[in-house]
Structures are given as C-alpha cells and as structure tokens.
Amino acid sequence: METKIIKIDKNQINEEVIKEAGALLREGKLVAFPTETVYGLGADALQEEAAKRTYEAKGRPSDNPLIVHIADYDDLKKIAINIPPETDMLAAHFWPGPLTMIFQKSDIVPYGTTGGLDTVAVRMPVDPIAQALIREAGGFVSAPSANTSGRPSPTTAQHVEEDLNGKIDMILDGGTVDIGLESTILDMTVSPPMILRPGAITEEMFEKVIGPVNVDQTLLSENSTQAPKAPGMKYRHYAPKAKLMIVEGDLREEILAIRQLAYEADRKGHPVGIIATSETLPFYNHGIVKNIGTRENEKSIARNLYGVLREFDEENVDTIYSESFAVQGMGTAIMNRLEKAAGHLRISASEVVKLQKYRRITFVSGTDSARGPMCAELLRHCDLKQEYVIDSRGMVVLFPEPANQKAEAVMKSVQMTLEGHSSLQLDPEEIQEDTLILTIDQSEKEKILAECDASENVYTLNEFTGDNTEIPDPYGKPLTAYGECLEVLERIIKKLADKLNSLMEEGKWEEQS
C-alpha cells in the first residue's frame, strides 16, 4: 500500500486535504494525524472492520482498547451512557485538551473499538487539524498513538513514517506536537474518578476542579501482582532498542555516577548513551550524550522524551543511562514513561559514587617543575578504572614556570611530554574531601599538615603505595640522573594505579530491578 504524506498547516488548514482524509476514514481506511499529545492513527470508531485494520497496522494486541476522539461535546452522549455529573465540570476545564475520560459505552460503539470492554475511552483533542478531521469523518475517530506497538509514541510525522509507511493510507504532517506525552486517562465509571495513566493534566489539577481523585496503585509499584486498569499500561511500551537504565539519587550524585559508568564503558570500548539536560550537559565527557530539555521547564523534557529515545535507536549503543526527574506535576508522567521504557531498571547513584573515595589526585613536590609533573603525567597514562582529575602543585613556587628541560627530555624518551605544564603553588583551599594529596618527600607532607587541617588524605608517595624505594632528587645533576629518577617513578606510579584500581573493586555496585 502506498502511504500518502501531506503537509498541513494548523494555522491555515487546507480544506481540500481534510476532505480527502475524511473521505478515507469514512471508507474505513487509516489516516495518521497530529494531536497536541502525540500523533494518532485515526480510523472510524464506529466501524468494527476499521478497528481491526488499526490493530493490524500497529501490530497491537486486540485486547488493548482504542480511544474515541470527538470534536463536539454534545457527541459524548451518543457513545457513552451513565455519564456522571462531574463530567461537565471536567470538560469545561480540560476539553478540548490532553484528557481522556472512560465511561460506559453505548450500543453504537463496536466491541472491536473497545477491545471487548463495556466501557469506552473518549477524548476531545485541541489540535485544529484533529478537530477538522474528526468532524469531516463523521464525529468519532478512534486513534491509538501512531507507532508500531512497542516503539515510542510519535511526536513528528517522520516518526509515524518510520513505523507505518506502507501500512496505512495517509499521514497528515502538521509538524512537531506540543506536549509529547499521551493524554491523562481518568476512569469516570468509579467514584471518585481514578487516574489510569498520568499525563499533562495532573492529579492536583483535577483536585482543584472536582476534589480528590484516586490513582491506579499499580502505576506506582512495578512489582504489583495486579494488572493495571488501563489494559495498555501492562505492556512494556516505549521500549528503546538499547537497555535503558534510570540513575537515581540527588542530581550531583547522578552526574558523578553517570560519568563513572560512561567512563567505564568507554574504557571497555562500548560507548553508552546518556540522557542529560541543558543544565547537566557540560559535565559529561564520555559516551553519546543527548539533551532532553531544560530542568527549568519540564514541558520541554516531556516534548523531547520520545524523540530522544528514537534517536538512540539510530546510534550504536547497547546501554543508555538517564538522569531522573522529580515525580510531581508533569514529572509524574515523564517518570512513568521513562520507567516503562526502562522496564523499571534503575541504578542507585550513591551506590556507584560511594566507591569513589578520591576524585582528584594532586602530586606535591618542592618547585612543581620535575618530579611532581612527571608523576602526574605517568599516572594519566595508566589504565584507571575511575576517571580522576590528576595534577601537581609545589610548596615553593614564586612564579609559574615551564617544566625542567631535562625532565621533559626523559619523558619524551618514553613518548610522554610535560609540554604545556606550568608550575603552581599549592593552595590549601583546593584540598577537598575527595582530593588525594601525594607528596614526593616527607618534608612536604609535614609542611602541609602543619599549614592546613586536611590531614586525612595526605600521604607521601612511598607511604601510600607501600614502596620504600627512595625517590632520588635529580635537581642540578646530569640527564642520566633524571633517567634514573624516571625509572623509579614509573615503578611506583604503576603500583599507585594498581592500588587505586583495587579501591574501586571493593564492593562493586549492583544493578537493581
């Protein structure tokens, strides 16, 4: 089947196009169209046969009911019965808009549309293209999200094309949707009404209009033995190809943990994907990082979520780590979709981070011109399980100077360089809880201990590595003395790397699911 793709502008709707699309729907055919939430796969809701085609095109289990979209509030009475009185208030506030309400169905709604249920889900979208199409099609258009079952819902016409090209009759391309997550579903057949799927209309917003509502408890705990009340919520929707894991903790720990996980993965030659935000983007230097939006505006995150998941399907990554978001307001819907996409896999950020006793390693020598910078450069070339900031400082640096030329010459002989090094005086303020200070001589250690109270993490290099070989001071001696010094340092720094790596090993973090 050839799928006709037609661009349409919601501010200047081309009536001819709507007529053509409406006619297709009346014939029982399938037309994908934009709504404010996600793109829908439209069919005439009152034709059993059309519902069948919908399930086929999506590859969706037919016990998963469809939402019937209307354009005029009066039409609700034709497809629903026993409509409770609060409905008027809710409709006045939230329709047209991203709210779906469930009622008992009337006889004109075929069981094919409701997946065999006696209830019907109804939504009145606000998108003008959707409204025009629904009216043209006769008033009742069933529309699940226009994705292949199991793929993220489409937020652009291109997403629909990726999944359904050749399987449906037409796609109306109205650009990128506004909200990006599916409508909130509210079950009106129980009292008080119950939220079956979180969305842009939140629990707090309902409460302001009709008082407290309930929330389907199976949404809150992934281990629930009960099936969720909206049949579609039981499927592992929105599944990206890669394994997605949500890293949970406070934001600082989440960043540190994801950095570590991405570093480890790069080291093993399997780059990972990272879902970051505008605010956290600059902190990542490993992996394939995508910006999902700004933490200042959760709506931007909702709008980009599915698009980012789809983009990762095009990347060669087999794991994606995502930061997490506060479960409140729109965040409830964001985390609900993210957790479903992750199949509820999560990692505790603090479990990862607690293994990182040190994050910065500073070598301290007298003038910071030879042995200190040599140690730093040697360590940078070691294979470390954790990423460290590695630098060097001096105890008596009057002004910044490049590295000693003989030191540079011996480093060059082992394919390393001190080029660009500039000596710096140690500033006690720089010593943080996670800084490991390693001095070349005992005298420097004593001086630091006397000058600042960072006693815990200050060691001589010999002491920390348990290697008692004296580190010779080549200053003022010929090049061979620098060469001998390098040999000693190479051995000790190798031991240092082993020790740091074994610290990481202790109590490896575990994935939780």
- Give me the residues that bind ligand TXA (CB under 6 A), please: 35, 37-38, 40, 64-67, 100, 102, 114, 117, 119-121, 123, 143-145, 182-183, 185, 196, 229-233
Question: Among residues 35 and 156, whose Cβ is nearest to ligand TXA?
Answer: 35
Least Cβ distance, residue 195 to ligand TXA (angstroms): 11
Question: Among residues 172 and 233, whose Cβ is nearest to Mg ion?
Answer: 233
Q: Which residue reads 């815990």 in tokens?
A: 456
Q: Which two tokens stand for residue 231?
A: 């049949």
Least Cβ distance, residue 20 to ligand TXA (angstroms): 20
Least Cβ distance, residue 235 to ligand TXA (angstroms): 8
Residues 6+ apart with CB under 8 A from 262: 271, 272, 274, 284, 286, 287, 321
Least Cβ distance, residue 189 to ligand TXA (angstroms): 8
Report how many residues bind Mg ion under the rule CB under 5 A: 1
**What CA–CA distance (Å, rounded) separates 327 from 225?**
23
The Cα-based distances of 89 to 192, 207, 209, 453 in angstroms read 14, 12, 7, 65
The entry of Mg ion, ligand TXA, none that residue 262 binds, CB within 5 to 8 Å by partner kind = none
Nearest CA to 312 among 279, 348, 342? 342
Least Cβ distance, residue 40 to ligand TXA (angstroms): 3
The entry of ligand TXA, Mg ion, none that residue 406 binds, CB within 5 to 8 Å by partner kind = none
The entry of ligand TXA, Mg ion, none that residue 40 binds, CB within 5 to 8 Å by partner kind = ligand TXA
The entry of ligand TXA, Mg ion, none that residue 143 binds, CB within 5 to 8 Å by partner kind = ligand TXA
158 by Cβ neighbours in 10 Å (0-12 / 13-18 / 19+) ranks as middle
**What CA–CA distance (Å, rounded) separates 274 from 171?**
32
Least Cβ distance, residue 308 to Mg ion (angstroms): 17
Interface with Mg ion in residues 129-158 (CB under 5 A): 145
Question: Among residues 33 and 263, whose Cβ is nearest to Mg ion?
Answer: 33
6 by Cβ neighbours in 10 Å (0-12 / 13-18 / 19+) ranks as middle
4 by Cβ neighbours in 10 Å (0-12 / 13-18 / 19+) ranks as middle
118 by Cβ neighbours in 10 Å (0-12 / 13-18 / 19+) ranks as exposed
Question: Among residues 183 and 348, whose Cβ is nearest to Mg ion?
Answer: 183
Question: Among residues 145 and 365, whose Cβ is nearest to Mg ion?
Answer: 145
Least Cβ distance, residue 209 to Mg ion (angstroms): 26
Least Cβ distance, residue 237 to Mg ion (angstroms): 6
Question: Among residues 187 and 391, whose Cβ is nearest to Mg ion?
Answer: 187
| Closest residue to bound ligand TXA by CB | 232
**What CA–CA distance (Å, rounded) separates 105 from 78?**
9
Question: Among residues 145 and 423, whose Cβ is nearest to Mg ion?
Answer: 145
Residues 6+ apart with CB under 8 A from 67: 100, 121, 122, 123, 142, 143, 144, 183
Instruction: Return the amino acid letter for 61.
Output: P
- DSSP result, 434-486: TEEEEESSHHHHHHHHHH-S-GGGEEEHHHHHT--------TTS-HHHHHHHH
Least Cβ distance, residue 17 to ligand TXA (angstroms): 19
Question: Among residues 198 and 249, whose Cβ is nearest to ligand TXA?
Answer: 198
9 backbone dihedrals φ, ψ, rounded to 5°: -105, 125
Cβ pair 66, 163 in contact under 8 A? no
Q: Which two tokens stand for residue 471?
A: 């580190």
Least Cβ distance, residue 290 to Mg ion (angstroms): 22
The entry of Mg ion, ligand TXA, none that residue 183 binds, CB within 5 to 8 Å by partner kind = ligand TXA
Question: Among residues 46 and 289, whose Cβ is nearest to ligand TXA?
Answer: 46
Question: Among residues 113 and 145, whose Cβ is nearest to Mg ion?
Answer: 145
Instruction: Return the amino acid letter for 62.
Output: S
The entry of ligand TXA, Mg ion, none that residue 353 binds, CB within 5 to 8 Å by partner kind = none
Interface with Mg ion in residues 258-297 (CB under 5 A): none
In angstroms, what is the C-alpha Rg of the chain? 31
| Closest residue to bound Mg ion by CB | 145
What residues line the site for Mg ion (CB under 5 A)?
145
